[in-house]
Structure 1
Amino acid sequence: MSSRAGSRIKQISTHLNSNPFLELNTPFSTERSARLEDDKGNRIPAKKVQEVKTKVAEVRNLAPKPPKKMSNQAPHPALLIPGPIEFDDAVLSSMSHYRYPILLHPFASFHIHGHLGTDFEVLGNLRKLFLTSDPASQPFVISGSGTLGWDQVASNLVEPGDEVLVLHTGYFADSFADCFETYGVKATQLKAPIGDRPQLDEVEKALKEKEYKMLTVTHVDTSTGVLSEIQALSELVQRVSPDTLVVVDGVCSVGSEEIRFDDWKLDAVVTASQKGIGCPAGLSIMMVSGRAIERFKARKTRPTSYFGSWKNWLPIMQNYEAKKASYFATPSPQLIHALDTALKQILSRPIEDYWAAHKTASQKVKKAVADLGLRQLASKPENQATGMTAIYLPEGITPPDVLPSLLKKGVIFAGGLHKEIATKYIRFGHMGVSVTDPDRPDITKAIESLKEGLTEAGYKA
């Protein structure tokens, strides 16, 4: 036997030896016991070896562990404005899948080899999000922003010359009213002082004075952080003016606030993808009642919008739910796939738990604001939104004195939006993954950064 062959056999036999001299770094060595010797060649008993291993393990357990990586996204400041918000990795990565620009059935959960063979989910999950089981109701998802929802309402559910009552709690009521006027609909605004909302007796009086085809209410006005009482308003309309449709602007509320579409007898809720739902911006989302659909079908004039016309979109959405191929305008398959992921995350638990997580975060923020000696625009607790907080700055301090400092600390807040007081306050958004993921430090970090930023600006709490 050659020396080379002998050497090779010796190496092989080492691997086959049940008691190798040294532990082997191979998959085959894990179940073998090693025979170790000290520096004098004396064999170290297995018991002694085990004692050493135990001590090493104990030391390792005491050593500080590296911090859990919060996200696979590139490092960036935490986006804590009232939308768009921070997004979960899974939602963002779901947009990166290879997709053809599918025009026939974009609301299916696609497979590369064929999107028509999979089960429909997105519109069905929206029904679960809004808590509607009424087959006459209809969800809509159209490429566009939340503003497209206003156009759909104004061009499909009322006709030129109709009267609508718009409850005003901030900037977005003004804009919704302007949208109605653009379509020839007469909008009457019922206004409240900044930080407050119209009272029920005021609404009742207005409804008795004139016949309104529709009442609209901004559930959470992003400019003020004021929360409206949707259930009580709907009950009032049903009692005083039952033919009046109840339409909710829920762009800054769906996901973070309680909404029960069937139980509260709502006729339409307008929202968007980038806030409490936790999906990137670009989708206009609506839930519409059967009563509102019948109102649309009974209109005397054709809808005054082409792209937003339900004459075009209603059969498309109905076909999607019936798993029938259909097409009107090019959708965004990537965004719809992200929406599918976001909805599945939300609905992986009872929806009440999702609302509760937002409530807990909101209470933490609002306590911190009070502890700093600051005031909210919405001074009454019942008027305060869950998903955001609008905060008056101390006298003599303006948003430019604070916001750049927060950015340097890795936090982004929004400045004021209400034109009458824009220089006096800032807005803190707390929605989605920043509050539902218990391992994320976003809210705690933001509160600490706000304290430090105000101190640096010269404020003493």
Structure 2
Amino acid sequence: MSAFKQESHKLLVIPGPIEVTDEVLYANAYPPVAHTSAEFIPVLGDSIRLTREVLYTKDAQIFLIAGSGTLGWDQTSANLVESGDNVLVLNSGYFGDSFTECLRAYGAKVDEIRADFGNAITQAQLEKALAAKKYKLVAFTHVDTSTAVLSDAKMIGETTRRVSPQTLVVLDGVCSVASEEIRMDAWGIDVVLSASQKGLGAPPGLCIVAASRKAITVFEKRVSPVAGYYASWKKWIPVMNAYEAGKPMYFATPPVNLVRAYRQSLFEITSGNVSLQERFALHRETKARITAAVKELGLREVPQDKSISANGMSAIYLPDGVGVADLVPRMAARGVIVTGGLHKDTKDKYFRIGHMGTTAVNKQRGDIDKVIAVLTEVVNEVRKQNA
């Protein structure tokens, strides 16, 4: 490995994209190679196999396709939904709204259970909805980036399997994969969709989807044609299977450099200095540090209970009399990039910090020390100014 070091830059601690390791960035800078070459085939094949390890699944069909995490919504909707299908969305924020919009675009009849701002859907609410109506699938955002609310994926998967075993469970894990534990097979999760630029620790641009055998069977038994072209699993399953088997196949050109960077990050996640379980523990430890600092400053977080607060990011209410424009630019001037709120009704009342991937795992970097120090300095400064 080269002694490559990335250029000095401001610390990026938004809820994605995140900081990446020198090794991942170096892998992305590798000279492009042919996507059908003997050099690239094992890169994509390895990435498919290692993605399964991160999700604790033995045989899920993996799709690694150029695109943002949003493409995961389209893949789910295009391949698993037929016009008129009933779908239940467990909505805990902005991204629940968007997933609903995408599902309806493909003809789904969507019912929503909407959590209050800063809350998650309860088991009782889910049980009641599943008992009242048959749904093709239940979809939820594991960590809604607009609120930092963490939904109970284990409960949702197990409850759905018990009450409505024919229903597919779809987990939007764009802001949770590799920072929150997801046991896809054991919990009864049928689809996990994600993206490269958050907990998975690579640059943006790669959509990652895992589909269970049950989900693939539902896809194969659909009556109507897939309502899509680029997102169609009919096109992509042969490609993914070929590369995993060590053979090239073409449908659309994969982002060869990005896949190489993604594989490097997967190597670090699955066989690095810390185990996957230790990685999750380090994210919880980092979250605890941020929570303690927030409490010390007399601030409070958006999630209404720590049991539903994400470990890879935080959403924090601004001090009284302080706006996003008072805090975010001041932190940026001190070398720390955070971002404002996102939820349409309250976006000017809070700000968000991302603390996932190498920022959470590699303590020697000192990222969290810097975030806490700068946050403390800026909050005290704006309070003094407004006094």
TM-score range (shorter-chain normalised) is over 0.9
Instruction: Give the residue type in structure 2 aligned to 1:228.
Output: S
Q: CA deviation at 1:279?
A: 0.1
Q: Distance in 2 between matches of 1:86 and 1:453?
A: 22
Question: In the alignment, which of 411, 415, 430 is matched to residue 355 of structure 2?
Answer: 430
Determine the structure 1 residue equivalent to 2:330: 405
How many residue pairs get aligned? The number is 382
Alignment of 1:232-271 (within 5 A): 232-271=155-194
Mapped contact 2:6–2:25 kept (Cα < 8 A): no
Query: Does 1:96 pair with 2:29?
Result: yes
Q: CA deviation at 1:103?
A: 3.2
Q: Distance in 1 between matches of 2:375 and 2:344?
A: 23
Determine the structure 1 residue equivalent to 2:252: 329
Q: CA deviation at 1:353?
A: 1.1
Query: Does 1:150 pair with 2:73?
Result: yes
Question: In the alignment, which of 306, 330, 334 is matched to residue 381 of structure 1?
Answer: 306
Instruction: Give the residue type in structure 2 aligned to 1:357.
Output: L
- List structure 1 segments (4+ residues) > 4 angstroms apart after TM superposition: 115-119
Per-residue CA distance 1:104-157 (angstroms, 9 max, x = gap)? 36xx7x3xxxx45889411111111111123xx211100000000000000001
Question: In the alignment, which of 92, 99, 117 is matched to residue 169 of structure 1?
Answer: 92
Q: Distance in 2 between matches of 1:406 and 1:438?
A: 21
Question: What TM-score, normalized by structure 2, do the two folds share?
Answer: 0.96
Other structure's SS at 2:207 match:
strand
Alignment of 1:263-412 (within 5 A): 263-348=186-271, 349-412=274-337
Other structure's SS at 1:152 match:
helix
Query: Does 1:77 pair with 2:2?
Result: no
Per-residue CA distance 1:360-400 (angstroms, 9 max, x = gap)? 11111111111111110002011100000100011211110
Q: CA deviation at 1:71?
A: 8.3
Quick check: which has more Rg, 1 or 2? 1
Q: Distance in 2 between matches of 1:363 and 1:202?
A: 29
Instruction: Give the residue type in structure 1 aligned to 2:257.
Output: Q
**Which range moves more in the overlay, 335-344 or 449-458?**
449-458
Q: CA deviation at 1:457?
A: 1.1
Per-residue CA distance 1:135-183 (angstroms, 9 max, x = gap)? xx21110000000000000000111110100001000000000001111
Instruction: Give the residue type in structure 1 aligned to 2:207.
Output: S
Question: In the alignment, which of 369, 373, 387 is matched to residue 444 of structure 1?
Answer: 369
Determine the structure 2 residue equivalent to 1:22: none
Instruction: Give the residue type in structure 1 aligned to 2:262.
Output: L
Query: Does 1:123 pair with 2:48?
Result: yes
**Which range moves more in the overlay, 118-127 or 163-172?**
118-127
Structure 1: which 5+ runs fail to align?
1-69
Determine the structure 1 residue equivalent to 2:128: 205
Change beyond 3 A, Cα 1:328–1:383? same
Q: Distance in 2 between matches of 1:240 and 1:78?
A: 46
Instruction: Give the residue type in structure 2 aligned to 1:278.
Output: G
**Which range moves more in the overlay, 248-257 or 436-445?**
436-445
Alignment of 1:28-47 (within 5 A): none
Q: Distance in 2 between matches of 1:402 and 1:191?
A: 30
Other structure's SS at 1:386 match:
coil
Q: Distance in 1 between matches of 2:161 and 2:57?
A: 18
> Which structure has the higher relative contact order (CA within 8 Å, separation 6+)?
2
Mapped contact 2:42–2:244 kept (Cα < 8 A): no
Mapped contact 2:87–2:136 kept (Cα < 8 A): yes
Per-residue CA distance 1:11-45 (angstroms, 9 max, x = gap)? xxxxxxxxxxxxxxxxxxxxxxxxxxxxxxxxxxx
Instruction: Give the residue type in structure 2 aligned to 1:94.
Output: A
Determine the structure 2 residue equivalent to 1:38: none
Root-mean-square deviation over aligned CA pairs:
1.7
Q: Distance in 1 between matches of 2:185 and 2:111?
A: 27
Q: Distance in 1 between matches of 2:295 and 2:194?
A: 30
Determine the structure 1 residue equivalent to 2:61: 138
Instruction: Give the residue type in structure 2 aligned to 1:104.
Output: T
Question: In the alignment, which of 188, 191, 195 is matched to residue 114 of structure 2?
Answer: 191
Per-residue CA distance 1:181-237 (angstroms, 9 max, x = gap)? 111111111001100011111111111111110000100000000000011111111
Q: CA deviation at 1:324?
A: 1.9
Change beyond 3 A, Cα 1:199–1:119? closer
Other structure's SS at 1:256 match:
coil
Other structure's SS at 1:167 match:
strand
Other structure's SS at 2:377 match:
helix
Q: CA deviation at 1:248?
A: 0.1
Change beyond 3 A, Cα 1:93–1:237? same
Instruction: Give the residue type in structure 2 aligned to 1:296.
Output: F
Structure 2: which 5+ runs fail to align?
none
Per-residue CA distance 1:252-310 (angstroms, 9 max, x = gap)? 00010011111112100000000001000000001110000000000001110100000
Determine the structure 2 residue equivalent to 1:230: 153
Question: In the alignment, which of 369, 380, 384 is matched to residue 455 of structure 1?
Answer: 380
